[in-house]
Amino acid sequence: MIESRRVDLTAVPDGERTAQLSLQLTGDGPLAVLIHGFPLDHRMWTDVLHGELRHRRTLCAVDLRGHGRSPWSGDPVHTMQRLADDVAAVIRSLGDDPVDACGLSMGGYVAFALVARHPELVRSLALTNTRAAADSEAQREGRDRAIEAVVADGRAAFADGMIDKLLAPDATPLHRAQLRTMIETQPVETILADLEGLKQRPDRTSELAGIRVPTLVVAGEHDQVTPADEMRSFAQQIPGARFEVIAGTGHMSPLEAPEAWSAVVAGFWQ
């Protein structure tokens, strides 16, 4: 059974603004927090929540502010730091123990910010389909073009441009439809605030050697957004990190191959 909960973040110490976050909880054992990518929500973890990992951990799939069932907070920029502070508040609301943090792509950027800002809350990191580097100048310009395109042409056109990049070439119609539904149902304000935050995110490369928790890095064989070679190279800079590639998947490995992806994470969460 999956339980839905809401956490009120009015108590975040530095928060001039308040937010409410929605969580999906299932399973038994120590807490693991799953952080979705851009511009998605907890639904990207649906098959993972129903799979073998729930027998090893209490899985908590967060909807970051403005995504999924979490209302938009009015914040025009979703910095990775702010999103990480939100996740920290969620973790504190669920208990005192450090958690296994797992993030995909933008969720990975949030996980990097979480371990940097709240190291006492993280006991392991699973970084999937993500990168440590900041945006290049060309990527920042691409974010600006995306902002203009979302405003001019709307979410459906934005989804059209994204789906092929997110999935492996032989993606199923169901996976395409799942992504389209998620992208088209995020508030346009959320998409814009995410794009600004992604553009501004810091480079974490110099922090990799200082990561002290067990770390798993998982890549998709056909990932065009965060290629496996780039992921292997940043994994090699994290002391003792494991690196795995999920065959046949693109940028959405946990959604495209939930069983293979979960088996790799289960091996790490022994």
What stretch of H or E contains 187? Answer: none
Strand order in the sheet with 58-63: 3-8, 20-27, 58-63, 31-35, 99-104, 122-128, 215-220, 242-246
* Residue 247 C-beta: closest distance to ligand MLT, Å: 20
* Residue 106 C-beta: closest distance to ligand MLT, Å: 3
Residues whose CB is less than 8 angstroms from the CB of residue 255 and which lie 6 or more positions away in sequence, other chains included? 44, 45, 47, 175, 178, 179
* Residue 80 C-beta: closest distance to ligand MLT, Å: 10
CB contact at 8 A, 75 and 65: yes
Q: What is the DSSP letter of 234?
A: H
Q: In this complex, which beta carbon is closest to ligand MLT, that of residue 60 or of residue 198?
A: 198
Choice from 99, 225, 238, 245 touching ligand MLT (CB under 6 A): 225
Q: Which of residues 29-48 bind ligand MLT (CB under 6 A)?
A: 37-38
Q: In this complex, which beta carbon is closest to ligand MLT, that of residue 27 or of residue 223?
A: 223
Q: The tokens 């994204």 sit on which residue?
A: 162
Q: In this complex, which beta carbon is closest to ligand MLT, that of residue 38 or of residue 243?
A: 38
Q: How many residues bind ligand MLT (CB under 6 A)?
A: 7
What stretch of H or E contains 188? Answer: helix 188-200
* Residue 194 C-beta: closest distance to ligand MLT, Å: 8
* Residue 11 C-beta: closest distance to ligand MLT, Å: 27
Q: Which of residues 247-266 bind ligand MLT (CB under 6 A)?
A: 251
Choice from 22, 24, 105, 128 touching ligand MLT (CB under 6 A): 105
Distances (CA, A) of 262 to 62, 191, 204, 253: 18, 28, 26, 10
Choice from 106, 126, 193, 231 touching ligand MLT (CB under 6 A): 106
